[in-house]
Homo-oligomer: A and B are copies of this chain.
Amino acid sequence: MATGRTHRPATRSRGIPEATVARLPLYLRALTALSERSVPTVSSEELAAAAGVNSAKLRKDFSYLGSYGTRGVGYDVEYLVYQISRELGLTQDWPVVIVGIGNLGAALANYGGFASRGFRVAALIDADPGMAGKPVAGIPVQHTDELEKIIQDNGVSIGVIATPAGAAQQVCDRLVAAGVTSILNFAPTVLNVPEGVDVRKVDLSIELQILAFHEQRKAGEEAAAEAAVPAAARKESTDQGPDGDVPAVMPA
């Protein structure tokens, strides 16, 4: 980024810590499930278990929203669903465009999870002229030429990028220029955006690599600790112990 001295303390997140914001959808999901089972109230302990977090953390998270619980009883499920929904901005409708209707884009378009919570697929956009007009998930694909018009006509502020990596930055620039201020990026690229635009990325490849790291570590420790009972002999190759600091040959 290297923009000049923004002299404020980072992002200024309306008082609610970013880590908390990231967990609110998790709580909301658990609460919605309880709501559907007509459970009237829930304790921090129970809800925390359902959401897979620490109960103290959950209580602290909720404390940022206000004092919505009742001591000795717990939290009113319906009320909390409403409060979190409102806090997350889910009480309003968010039109979303998906750009790049290939394998992934089509899967996203077909995904039912969108409509369930305030999000509505306003348009599907692709650069392939052959796709124009073809319906995917009941919505006709539109050509990239109309991107700007679509954004403006529908008041779209959230865009999803599912194009190949090479096209992502260009698509991103156009989205931002047209008025989009939040982007969910599935392409494996770093997107450069002006200040005020939020980008979140979903990167399958990175997730797998992180898993591989831990997997390798587990295998290494296992081999180092118990030099017996090798459940199923695999991973051979170099295999030079857990701390492979042998510097090989530094190519100067």
Nearest B residue (CB) for A84: B209
| Interface 1/0 per residue, A1-33 and B, CB below 8 Å | 111000000000110000001101110111000
Residues A25 and B190 in contact, CB atoms below 8 Å apart: no
Q: How far is the CB of A68 from chain B (nearest CB, A)?
A: 8
Residues A50 and B155 in contact, CB atoms below 8 Å apart: no
Residues A26 and B206 in contact, CB atoms below 8 Å apart: yes
Give the residues in chain B near A148, CB-CB below 8 Å.
Answer: none
Chain copies in the assembly? Answer: 2
CA distance A218 to B88 in the complex (A): 12
Q: How far is the CB of A89 from chain B (nearest CB, A)?
A: 3
Q: How far is the CB of A15 from chain B (nearest CB, A)?
A: 8
Nearest B residue (CB) for A89: B216
Give the residues in chain B near A158, CB-CB below 8 Å.
Answer: 208, 211-212, 215
Residues B210 and A22 in contact, CB atoms below 8 Å apart: yes
Give the residues in chain B near A205, CB-CB below 8 Å.
Answer: 25, 29, 113-114, 116-117
